[in-house]
Amino acid sequence: MRNRLLFLSLVATLFATTLLSQERPEGPSAPRKPEYASEVFAIFPSGYDQLIGKAGLVVRVRIIASEPKIVQNPNSYPIGWTVHTAQVLDTVKGHAGKTIRFEQRASRIETENYVVTTEGQEPLLLNHEYLVFLTPKDKGNGYFLTFERDSVFEMERGTVRPFGVSQVARDHAGMSEHRFMRELRDRVSRLEVQK
């Protein structure tokens, strides 16, 4: 049972997609575009060790570019993602080059025919620094956030600001950046020794 739950947490992007009945006209006579909204179902890490253990790469990054991406699912509605390119400032676990690309289930994309949004998720911001826990994509072409927003900790003026709502996120909210990074490195080292 636990392995099944862990497998589901790796998938981490179970979602429901719905067609919103509200359409947003741009003017009194403008044609209405359907809006497709997807929701990311939260699968929280059971603890700090699981967050670290599931991530293949733990890095501190600065977002240098972001681009929206629509995935056309033949069995459902379109799904929106944001693909981030980030400068690697520090590697805590794994191996990374000077830059990496990773995907986040967060977007608002307007096409000629429709609008795609992700409910309750905001894309990471350009030129902001984050500590992210990443899992390699199956085909080895980039990464995705291991537990979506619970894999993101913004480093803001020497303080940690988690994006998530899990217990792990709450435990680290407001912690000093120095203490957070020291404890993370200690935890990663202990987990590596236990392997």
pLDDT at 108 over 60: yes
Place of tokens 């909204």: 37
Domain 2-194 has CATH 3.10.310.10: no
What count of Cα atoms within 13 Å lies in the side-chain half-sphere of residue 18? 7
pLDDT at 109: 85
Q: How far is CA 104 from the centre of its chain?
A: 4
Q: What percent of the chain has pLDDT over 90?
A: 52
Query: Is-above-0.85 flag for pTM?
Result: no
pLDDT tens digits, one per residue of 29-79: 566 888 888 877 778 888 999 999 999 999 999 999 999 988 887 888 888
Domain positions in the chain are: 2-194
Pick the residue with more confidence: 24 or 124? 124
pLDDT at 26: 54
Contact by Cβ (8 Å): 180, 158: no
